[in-house]
Copies of this chain bind each other. A is one copy, B any other.
Amino acid sequence: MNLEQASRQLEALGNPTRLQLYRTLVRAGPAGLPVGGLQERIGIAASTLSHHLKRLVETGLVTQERQATTLICRAHYPAMDALIGYLADECCADAGCVAVAAAAS
């Protein structure tokens, strides 16, 4: 994980629609959700949704698996782990950060 990759992932999550999208996928759990299901829940145009999803997939935060004509989307936890780890490292380099202190306890 380097600064460029981290910033790309952060930017991907730094849009309310995409963050909501990611959140929805997390709440959907390991089963994931098809693109159409996401569209129902979020309520945006299919093309807009596809753009956002593409961004999340490109940055590795979401994976997609084809099942016949439907595309199942899932939150890709390892990517979020790595991102949080990077932020925590940056944040807590001087051990002044509560998050790592809590994790260490």
- The chain A residues found within 8 Å of chain B, CB to CB, are 3-4, 6-16, 18-20, 22-23, 26-27, 29-30, 75, 77-78, 80-81, 83-85, 87-88, 90-91, 93-94, 96-99, 102-103
Copies in the complex: 2
- Residues of B with C-beta under 8 A to A29: 94, 96
- A interface secondary structure, majority: helix
Q: How far is it, in angstroms, between the C-alpha of A103 and the C-alpha of B94 when the chains are bound? A: 19
A79 nearest in chain B by CB position? B91
- Residues of B with C-beta under 8 A to A12: 14
Q: Are B4 and A8 in contact (CB under 8 A)?
A: no
- Residues of B with C-beta under 8 A to A78: 98
Q: How far is it, in angstroms, between the C-alpha of A78 and the C-alpha of B88 when the chains are bound? A: 12
